[in-house]
Amino acid sequence: MARARTVHRCQECGAEAPRWAGRCDACGAWNTMVEEVVAPPAGGRRAGRAPAPVAPTVALGAVSAAASPRWETGLREFDFVLGGGIVPGSLVLVGGEPGIGKSTLLLQVAARLSAAGRGTLYVSGEESALQVRLRADRLAEASDAAGVALLTETSLEAIVATAEAALSSGRRVEALVVDSIQTVHTELLEGAPGNVGQVRECAARLMRLAKDAGIAVFVIGHVTKGGGIAGPKTLEHIVDTVLYFEGEGSLEHRVLRATKNRFGSVDEIGVFRMLPSGLVPVENPSALFLGDREAVASGSAVTALMEGTRPVLVEVQALAARAGFSTPQRVAAGIDGRRLALLLAVLDKRGGISCAQLDVFCNVVGGMRVQEPAADLAVVAALASSVADRPLPPRAVFLGEVGLGGEVRPVSQVERRLAEAAKLGMTQAFLAERGVPRRTPPGLAVVPVASLGDVLRRTLGREAA
Ligand SMILES: [Zn+2]
């Protein structure tokens, strides 16, 4: 196949150059030149300037307003994160660090689709057919996986041609998994597989395949911790849905998070346990993250986060210990370091508890990440509890944003968070005075607080300075 005419375009300023360069001539940025196809090769589909095909139009009023059908895999958390199942004709990117379980998850999905009678093609550019077979044999879905069509291939043209040939010969291909986008390459571009131009062009062509043939396409993309590698980040605007698969390597649970979804809400999470037989949906994520609340040490506080539409209870742990002779350390895991610094300053100035001479460690248990200020109150309560070395009430939940003046502000969707807390056996809820809902779940006593000082008094019996 002849190569297409390509240019290298600067991702910063848009300047074009005929050849790749490390530095853009126009704006001087480094490593921003990415190869793009400008015209298909002579002899290609549009050779000889044939007139473009005329497409039929449809009156807007005649478009069926019924919800598009969705395919449920029965892997409950996976269906949930997608917004209620797989949408035919969609392109879904599943990103995550190598080894996190992306291939396992999508092999399970492929097996389940195949068992439901949907033709499924699994393309592996990473592993041999035998390796994929051995992986499938370990799954709970092993017998379902037998019907999945397997293709070990890295040429995009061959993958698309195989899918199209199967379709035109009347065989059903309804789902396609590409593992991974970094191993696939198109002949139209010169660059090596995995570079930004290749990854982007391949994804765009798979998107066209998905739309034209109504196939659900899943693309696996590897992300490294630094995030500097060409890949998922550059694809996010091309695909319909972006799912990130996360987890600490040492923990057995994994979180699947939708960061973009044209067919559902974003920020939804699904929680799985990684077992030898594959990924198993976790029925009650709060119970997993919360652990045992019977014997809690000082420095532990519970809060309820909203993950998409779903409340999840998590434990925030803080440890303040006397620093050595060096500068006191601030170590935050699962919480933004700057937010921690801010809360330490508020605790000092408004709560009269200084950590200036202490090393401070703050951690969200279970590898969850706290991204909303609603967890502030739990963080300061945990810090104060650690400094005082007195445990907080074990069955209390803390919900509130803490302002610079030490004031406690209401959080959104407080009813849903309280309902989850009550469900998990919490008996007390510390809430912003202004944000106490009219109705609270039975068994959960609300403690209204206006300021950080109030919280310290009510929990640790401590007078604010
Ligand atoms: Zn430039």
Model pLDDT, residue 51 = 74
What number is the average pLDDT over the span 105-119?
Answer: 96
The sign one gets for the Cα dihedral 438, 440, 442, 446 is negative
CATH 1.10.287.110: does it fit domain 69-283? no
Kindly indicate the confidence band of residue 465, based on its pLDDT and cuts at 50, 70 and 90: very low
What number is the average pLDDT over the span 66-71?
Answer: 77
Residue 246, pLDDT > 70, answer yes
Distance 6 CA to ligand 1 centre (A): 17
CB neighbourhood size of 90 (10 A): 23
Distance 220 CA to ligand 1 centre (A): 30
Q: What is the mean pLDDT of the chain?
A: 89
Q: How far apart are CA 273 and CA 271, in angstroms?
A: 7
Kindly indicate the confidence band of residue 228, based on its pLDDT and cuts at 50, 70 and 90: very low
CB 139 within 8 A of CB 104: yes
CB neighbourhood size of 37 (10 A): 18
Distance 239 CA to ligand 1 centre (A): 25
Q: How far apart are CA 157 and CA 165, in angstroms?
A: 12
Residue 220, pLDDT > 80, answer yes
Beta bridge partners of 123: 151, 178
Report the amino acid identity of residue 50: A
Distance 21 CA to ligand 1 centre (A): 11
Distance 12 CA to ligand 1 centre (A): 5
Distance 25 CA to ligand 1 centre (A): 7
CB 346 within 8 A of CB 310: no
CB 267 within 8 A of CB 307: yes
Q: Which residue has the higher pLDDT, 306 or 51?
A: 306
> Where does 288-460 sit in CATH, by number?
3.30.230.10
Q: Both tokens of residue 18?
A: 């005929």
Residue 464, pLDDT > 50, answer no
DSSP 8-state assignment for residue 294: S
Residue 21, pLDDT > 60, answer yes
For 168, 173, 200, 276, the CA distances from 121, given in Å and listed in that order, are: 15, 7, 21, 24
Kindly indicate the confidence band of residue 6, based on its pLDDT and cuts at 50, 70 and 90: confident
Phi, psi of 240, rounded to the nearest 5 degrees: -80, -40
Residue 229, pLDDT > 60, answer no
Q: Which residue has the higher pLDDT, 292 or 189?
A: 189
What number is the average pLDDT over the span 228-250?
Answer: 77
Give the whole-number percent of the chain exceeding pLDDT 70: 92
pLDDT, tens digit, 9 for 90 and up, residues 33-56: 888 888 765 554 544 556 777 888
What number is the average pLDDT over the span 228-253?
Answer: 78
Model pLDDT, residue 13 = 84
CB 36 within 8 A of CB 6: yes
Beta bridge partners of 333: 363
What number is the average pLDDT over the span 277-305?
Answer: 86
Distance 32 CA to ligand 1 centre (A): 7
Model pLDDT, residue 463 = 57
Distance 16 CA to ligand 1 centre (A): 8
Model pLDDT, residue 5 = 84
pLDDT, tens digit, 9 for 90 and up, residues 159-172: 999 999 998 888 88
Q: Which residue has the higher pLDDT, 60 or 129?
A: 129
Residue 231, pLDDT > 70, answer no
pTM of the model: 0.81
Distance 18 CA to ligand 1 centre (A): 13
Kindly indicate the confidence band of residue 121, based on its pLDDT and cuts at 50, 70 and 90: very high
Distance 194 CA to ligand 1 centre (A): 22
Give the whole-number percent of the chain exceeding pLDDT 90: 61
DSSP string, 41-106: PTTSTTGGGPPPPPPP---GGGS--SPPP-B--S-HHHHHHHTSSBPTT-EEEEEE-TTSSHHHHH
Residue 112, pLDDT > 90, answer yes
Q: Which residue carries 């400008």 as its tokens?
A: 38
Model pLDDT, residue 327 = 86
Distance 15 CA to ligand 1 centre (A): 5
Domain ranges of the chain: 1-41, 69-283, 288-460
Distance 34 CA to ligand 1 centre (A): 11
Model pLDDT, residue 195 = 83
**Which strands form 396-399's sheet, in the order they lie side by side?**
330-333, 358-364, 310-322, 300-307, 396-399, 428-432, 445-449
